[in-house]
Structure 1
Amino acid sequence: MAGTRFTPEREGELYTAVLGLLRDVGYDALTMDAVAARARISKATLYRQWGSKAELVVRALRCEKPVFLDEVDTGSLRGDLEAVLEMTDDDRLEQDTALMRGLMQAASGSDELHDALISQLINPETDGVDTLLRRAVARGEVAADNPALGYVPHMMIGALAARLLIENRPVDRAFLRHYVHSVVFPALGV
């Protein structure tokens, strides 16, 4: 961020305000005026620091959900994916799934939001998964030519979306654990 410097605490307060508004009103109804009022900051500062609503929202999401997948290394792919599943709780999964569903819908009408989601949320997550998979290939757990390797992120994102669409139920760790064991591991031959 150029210009005004925020303490990590103040930046966290701002991101909390952004995410609160996002959950309350959704992306389309969220305004920089409302963020400025809730966070007690000037709208000019918001635009100077983040440039756009899309950038601010995605940075708030990234701050709330930092990616550390590449730091997970239990020595096996099964252990790594189990550890990743333990990184969040069921309430957080439900909130994140609902929030992402709304954002993906909004992104279908906004190239700026779509690009920000891809570059700052999706790509770091898929890069982390790729790191776990490369380690599994290097350890000999997964064949390097396994055609499912390139689709693991698709499988995981699909699990999140399909649970809501097909069953109209929130995603929880039990569902994800069963999905990983029933779909992802067999596809990878693990």
Structure 2
Amino acid sequence: MPGRPVDRFPGQTSDVRIRRPRMTPERERELLEAVLGVLREAGYGALSMDLVATRARCSKATLYRQWHSKAEMVAAAMIANRPVDPEAVDTGSLRGDLLALVEALSATAEKDTALIAAIHHAALTDEDLAATLHTSLAEYEFTHLSVLLDRAVERGELQRLPGAAEFLPQLLFGAVVTRPLTEGSFADSTYLARFVDLVVLPALRHS
């Protein structure tokens, strides 16, 4: 199903490749921090390139040269906001890697749970956002989390990449987002460690 027209820079057509100027990683991070700030304060629906440009002290042209649409910019901000890169986690065991990962998730759960939930809600009604999240954020999470499982296979902890691997992002982030709804508190490290031992590891080892 075709999505709605994507918000583009005036004069830009869908078949024109944008030539992105060089931007330092530090400046890109500043822009993405501005995106997250507007998201937390105004929500996805009210977020606009004008608001982000004002917050980041740059022109809208700068934003559109770096990201083709609002949805792409938000997906990039969500990836940059990850508390840890799963590929950088290597404790020597699958359980250790997962515990290190959820420890990092728990450290930002209070700050980020509402943000993640709001983005998920927006994706239910915005086809462009949903498609962009699927092709960038979801694939990023799956690819990077799969590295942990590939290492476990190499170490002999798993015989093969388990069938439950495709659900690992949903398991981890679902636990973080839903705990406030089911138990009235944010997902802390103790809660997520129990979730890893009782749910995630059994699913991975027996699929």
TM tier relative to shorter chain: 0.7 to 0.9
Could you tell me which amino acid in structure 1 is paired with residue 124 of structure 2? S
Establish whether residue 124 from structure 1 lines up as the match of residue 140 from structure 2: yes
Establish whether residue 36 from structure 1 lines up as the match of residue 60 from structure 2: no
Give me the whole-angstrom Cα distance separating, in 2, the residues matched to 1:52 and 1:188. Answer: 37
Give me the whole-angstrom Cα distance separating, in 1, the residues matched to 2:22 and 2:162. Answer: 47
Contiguous gaps of at least 5 residues in structure 2: 1-17
Give me the whole-angstrom Cα distance separating, in 2, the residues matched to 1:19 and 1:72. Answer: 25
SS of residue matched to 2:45: coil
Pairs aligned (count): 189
When residues 139 and 113 of structure 1 are mapped into structure 2, their CA distance, relative to the original with a 3 A threshold, is same
Q: Aligned to 2:189, which of 160, 169, 173?
A: 173
When residues 116 and 168 of structure 1 are mapped into structure 2, their CA distance, relative to the original with a 3 A threshold, is farther
On the 8 A contact 2:86/2:145 being kept in 1, the answer is yes
On the 8 A contact 1:137/1:143 being kept in 2, the answer is yes
Give me the whole-angstrom Cα distance separating, in 1, the residues matched to 2:165 and 2:51. Answer: 43
Contiguous gaps of at least 5 residues in structure 1: none
On the 8 A contact 2:142/2:166 being kept in 1, the answer is no
On the 8 A contact 1:97/1:171 being kept in 2, the answer is no
Q: Which has the higher mean CA deviation after the structures are superposed, 18-27 or 173-182?
A: 173-182
Q: Aligned to 1:95, which of 103, 111, 134?
A: 111
Give me the whole-angstrom Cα distance separating, in 1, the residues matched to 2:79 and 2:162. Answer: 31
When residues 178 and 8 of structure 1 are mapped into structure 2, their CA distance, relative to the original with a 3 A threshold, is same
Aligned-residue CA RMSD (Å): 2.4
Give me the whole-angstrom Cα distance separating, in 1, the residues matched to 2:196 and 2:153. Answer: 18
Establish whether residue 158 from structure 1 lines up as the match of residue 174 from structure 2: yes
